Amino acid sequence: MGEGKAMNLARYMTIVDRNGVVSYRYNPPTDAVEAGVVKRESLGTSLVNAINKASEYNDILDDWRKEHRYLKHLTTKSTVLDLVKSYTNSIDYNKLSSKSKEDYVYYLRRWAGDKATHTTLYASRLQDLTTPAMQRIYDLHAAHSVSLASHVLAVYRLMFSFAIRNGFTTFNPFKEVKKQTSKPRRVTWERDDIKAFMTTAFSNYETRSLGLIVYTAYCAAQRLGDMRLLTWDSYNIDTGVLSLTQSKRRAKVSIPLPQDLQQMLKQQHTEMGWQQYVFPTQRTVAGILQPYSLQGLAKAGRAIMEDAQLSTELQLMDLRRTAVTEMVMAGVATTNIMSLTGHATPSSLTPYIRHTLKSATVAQDMRDLQPMFT
């Protein structure tokens, strides 16, 4: 009993004393138990272990309470914005990675101001939404980018499924929206394009980090999203090896970077190594430099591309495709490419294969054909 008095028990912990043997028990509220969130159980005889275990259960319970607080006011008369607030405070949402959370919010906002009923989508009531109206919004955005429109559609479908599971609506207006099929994008950057982008980005101190994001994404054949959030603990200054877990597939890759980029990153570390992000913006929050947002990266990148007089056909997302295509055309073995890019299967590389004279020449050279007739 003395040990229990010396330390504060966690919430819902009780002390059980049976014939002088002290143990601990977790007794959470009935509503949380009936909802299957947590359960009543013995926590053993170690006070420290019992407090730790009870604290873990309380964190789960608190998350549920927070979600429930937002959900209990949600009805079919609620607006889409009300649903967004509820979903982004849900347990489902909080299980996502930080990168996925940011992506979901970005996608949801893309259609927020589109007219869905007599008002915008975010201001519309759940019960007033119709599939034809959602189809019109999708088609409008698909005219500019089928890929982006389909990503947004997927997140709205998921959010309305969340609302249905929790009993606030019986209809998902996005479920039957017909997606368009886009042709595989084949655009790649030339190395002169990359040099022009880098030169323009480096001409302004405020956009130097953006130039490094682009060059690192290209050299390492990685996604821009992972590069913009890269932290110094993922890069070994001494060996020049970048090691990270990709946000999309959770694949772990280790990539040696070229010498010129290593030198750039050494300089970047000298000036920016005091904070966590490798490529921060100059924007601060509470004295901490912030990384580029998805929208901020796209906007700043487009401005640099215009200043560098690059083709409007090029997009920053084409850099990874450019790197992979270069490796394929150079005859790099598929397994080696996968080690660099994090692709799970050889078939994932099929979109990058091009039937060109250069690629065919590499294949013939690797066959080492010897003359049969002289």
- pLDDT confidence bin for 70, thresholds 50/70/90: low
> Residue 31: its pLDDT value, please?
76
pLDDT band at 71 (very low <50, low <70, confident <90, very high): low
Query: Which has the minimum average pLDDT: 45-49, 231-235, 325-329, 347-351?
Result: 347-351
Same-domain check for residues 305 and 198: yes
Residues 159 and 201 in one domain: no
Strands 13-18 and 21-26: antiparallel
Between 362 and 341, residue with greater pLDDT: 341
pLDDT of 5 strictly over 60: no
Q: Confirm if 320 and 222 have CB atoms less than 8 A apart.
A: yes
Within this chain, do residues 89 and 55 fall inside the same structural domain, yes or no? no
Asked whether residue 171 is domain-assigned, the answer is no
Same domain, 33 and 85: no
Q: What is the CA radius of gyration of the chain?
A: 27
Band (pLDDT 50/70/90 cuts) for residue 4 is very low
Distant-in-sequence, close-in-space partners of 63: CB < 8 Å, separation ≥ 6: 91, 94
Query: Domain check: are 196 and 304 in the same one?
Result: yes
Question: What is the arithmetic mean of pLDDT over 60-69?
Answer: 74
pLDDT score of 14 more than 80:
yes
pLDDT score of 84 more than 80? yes
Residues 35, 114, single domain; the answer is: no
**Residue 252 counted as domain residue:** yes
Q: 13 with 60, same domain?
A: yes
Say what the pLDDT of residue 1 is. Answer: 44
Residue 174 placed within a domain: no
Asked if residue 314 and residue 199 are part of one domain, the reply reads: yes
| 335 within domain boundaries | no
SS (H, E, C) the chain: CHHHHHCCCCCCEEEEEECCEEEEEECCCHHHHHCCCCCCEEEECCHHHHHHHHHHHHHHHHHHHHHHHHHCCCCCCCEHHHHHHHHCCCHHHHCCCHHHHHHHHHHHHHCCCCECCCCECCCCEHHHCCHHHHHHHHHHHHCCCHHHHHHHHHHHHHHHHHHHHCCCCCCCCCCCCCCCCCCCCCCCCCHHHHHHHHHHHHCCHHHHHHHHHHHHHHHHCCCHHHHHCCEHHHEECCCCEEEEECCCCCCEEEEECCHHHHHHHHHHHHHHCCCCECCCCCCEECCEECCCCHHHHHHHHHHHHHHCCCCCCCCCCHHHHHHHHHHHHCCCCHHHHHHHHCCCCHHHHHHHCCCCHHHHHHHHHHHCCCCCCC
* Same domain, residue pair 92 and 59: no
For residue 359, CA distances in Å to 73, 300, 364 come to 61, 35, 9
pTM above 0.75, yes or no: no
pLDDT in tens, 244-295: 998 877 889 999 999 999 999 999 999 999 999 999 999 988 888 999 988 8
Average pLDDT value for residue range 356-368: 70
Query: Does residue 326 form part of some domain?
Result: no
Q: C-alpha angle with apex 238: 233 to 239, nearest 5 degrees?
A: 90
In angstroms, rounded to a whole number, what is the distance separating the alpha carbons of residues 195 and 294? 23
Task: Print the domain residue range for 46.
Answer: 2-64
Final residue belonging to a domain, choices 165, 181, 209: 165
Calculate mean pLDDT across residues 68-93: 80
Asked if the model's pLDDT at residue 6 lies above 60, the reply is no
pLDDT digits (tens, 9 = 90+) for 180-231: 987 778 899 999 999 999 999 999 999 999 999 999 999 999 999 899 999 9
pLDDT of 133-173, one tens digit each? 999 999 999 988 898 999 999 999 999 998 888 777 889 99
Structure-block tokens of residue 200: 């323009």
One domain for residues 95 and 151: yes
In a domain, 69, yes or no: no
pLDDT digits (tens, 9 = 90+) for 19-51: 889 999 999 988 778 767 889 999 999 999 999
* Cβ–Cβ under 8 Å, residues 41 and 53: no
Q: Would residue 343 count as lying in a domain?
A: no
- The count of structural domains within the chain is 3
- What is the rounded average pLDDT for all residues in the chain? 88
Q: Are residues 147 and 252 in the same domain?
A: no
Closest alpha carbon to 247 in 57, 101, 77: 101
Residue 170 forms part of a structural domain: no
